[in-house]
Amino acid sequence: MPKENATTELEPERLTEELLERLLSSTSIESYLDGPGVVDRTLVSYLSQLLASHGLTRAQVARASGINATVVYDVFSGKSRPGRDHAIMLALGLGCDLRETQRLLRLAGVSELWCKVRRDAILIWCVEHGLSRVQADDELWRFGERTLLGTGPLRAR
């Protein structure tokens, strides 16, 4: 299994369709598993890579994300896993782009942002336009959606 180095730059993620095609055409599972693109990545190692590549500290991420610093340190050390909103808040606090955000969500074991869901569409737009967590919450509030801190209005459903 390839080892990850937390100080290296993030590799571009291979497309799932490309990897699936390679898997289905492989003559053995070993030839697929030993090939490029198959990585056993953990949330902790990915967060460390993001910190390094974005030039941030955990304290800066805690402030920017709006998450209690103890919770952020527990997630970064692997003591706890973030829920979906906390994972999104971490991504915003880290200044992640959409691809990095989706990868962070997958590694956290929560569902990715989906453009067919109104709240998720707003969050995708916020991530894509580099908005902060506070600005993202403002947008969610403006459209009557629950904010990431959970204090916003709930639309009538």
Q: Do the domain assignments include residue 147?
A: no
- Which pLDDT score is estimated for 8? 44
At 115, the pLDDT band (50, 70, 90 cuts) reads very high
Q: Do the domain assignments include residue 81?
A: yes
Q: Rounded CA gap, 120 and 114, in Å? A: 6
CB atoms within 10 A of CB 96: 21
Q: pLDDT tens-digit profile of 123-154? A: 999 999 999 999 999 999 999 999 998 765 55
pTM here?
A: 0.80
**Residue 92 is part of which domain span?**
41-142
24-44: b or e for each residue (b if 16 or more CB lie within 10 Å)?
eeeeeeeebeeeeeeeeeebb
Q: pLDDT tens-digit profile of 93-104? A: 999 999 999 999
Q: pLDDT tens-digit profile of 29-69? A: 888 888 777 667 899 999 999 999 999 999 999 999 999 99
For position 126, which CATH number holds?
1.10.260.40
Count of all residues that appear for the chain in the document: 157
Residues ≥6 apart with Cβ < 8 Å to 41:
4, 107
Q: Rounded CA gap, 155 and 24, in Å? A: 44
Q: Do the domain assignments include residue 50?
A: yes
Q: Do the domain assignments include residue 103?
A: yes
Q: Do the domain assignments include residue 149?
A: no
Backbone angles phi, psi at 72, to 5 degrees: -60, -45
Q: How many domains does the chain have?
A: 1
